């Protein structure tokens, strides 16, 4: 009988530790909707939080692109399946591909916030609760 109780306690502890690890790895910040569209179809629509720390895609220096930005939401929505190039002159990341899709020149990936084209780059767009972010290819 004591052995069953011990096994049950150890099992409960393992589950609690695993759950805490998942919660710690989960995103942070407000919940936003992210939609990813090409010129002809929607690739993904999901609800995510930003990420902890900073985004370092494309040579972005640590701390220059907060995980609580549109870039962090994109990273969470795609599980890191996007690429970009950091430009120090503008202090931001130019998105080159998302989910394996690279636009043909002169088309490019653009970010929209609540249906309006953003005048800021993905690292400068701070996440706000219930926002709708759209990453789409534009001509």
**pTM tops 0.95, yes or no:** no
**Residue-range domains of the chain with CATH:** 28-138 (2.170.130.30)
**pLDDT tens across 89-108, in order?**
888 999 999 999 999 999 99
For residue 14, the model assigns a pLDDT of 34
**In contact, 85 and 109? CB cutoff 8 Å:** no
- Residue 123: which pLDDT band, with cuts at 50, 70 and 90? very high
In this structure, is the dihedral angle defined by the CA atoms of residues 50, 51, 52 and 55, taken in order, positive or negative?
A: negative
pLDDT of 18 higher than 50: no
């Amino acid at each position: 009988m004591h052995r069953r109780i011990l096994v049950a306690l150890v099992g409960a502890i393992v589950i609690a530790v695993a759950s805490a690890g998942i919660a710690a790895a989960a995103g942070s910040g407000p919940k936003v909707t992210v939609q990813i569209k090409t010129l002809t179809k929607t690739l993904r629509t999901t609800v995510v939080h930003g990420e902890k720390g900073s985004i370092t895609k494309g040579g972005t220096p640590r701390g220059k692109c907060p995980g609580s930005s549109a870039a962090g939401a994109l990273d969470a929505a795609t599980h890191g399946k996007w690429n970009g190039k950091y430009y120090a002159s503008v202090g931001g990341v130019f998105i080159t591909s998302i989910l394996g899709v690279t636009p043909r020149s002169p088309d490019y990936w653009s970010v929209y916030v609540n249906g309006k084209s953003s005048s800021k780059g993905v690292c400068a767009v701070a996440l706000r609760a219930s926002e709708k972010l759209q990453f789409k290819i534009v001509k």
